[in-house]
Amino acid sequence: MELKLIEQAFNDKYNFEKTKKNSIELLEKLISNSHCNFLKDEEEKLPAGLKYSDLKIRYKCTNIFINNTDREFPYYRICLELVHPRTEIQLFYYDVDYNIQGDFSDEYFGKY
């Protein structure tokens, strides 16, 4: 099967644009509540003078995991980045996993 056909089938099945938008909204909500969630513990990793709300959210890619030995069913991951507002260099990643039904499964945050 041609990869473009797989991409189109995936986008249609999982309403890709909506899922991507929902993932970005999850990150925006985390940032707006960073004073009372796990992001507070990561603040010292921010560049001097910047807050999470200063960083730009950028969509990076979607990973589809099939034949994964760690999970019984396939799943996919929306990968986002928080980038420096002036240099556009990615500083943090935020990945959101969705199960085969398209429901939220897990999230990951870290520094590059």
Q: What pLDDT shows up at residue 68?
A: 86
Structure tokens at 108: 């990951």
Locus of tokens 């398209």? 102
101 and 71 Cβ atoms separated by less than 8 Å:
no
Q: Going by DSSP bridges, is the β-strand pair 90-98/75-83 parallel, antiparallel, or unpaired? A: antiparallel
Q: What pLDDT shows up at residue 1?
A: 62
Is the pTM of the predicted complex or chain greater than 0.85? Answer: yes
- pLDDT tens for 19-54 read 999 999 999 999 999 999 999 988 899 999 999 999
Locus of tokens 């921010």? 46
User: Would you say the C-alpha torsion 88, 91, 97, 103 has a positive or negative sign?
Assistant: negative
19 and 98 Cβ atoms separated by less than 8 Å:
yes
What angle is formed at CA 36 by the lines to CA 35 and CA 38, rounded to 5 degrees? 95
110 class by beta-carbon count within 10 Å (0-12 exposed, 13-18 middle, 19+ buried): exposed
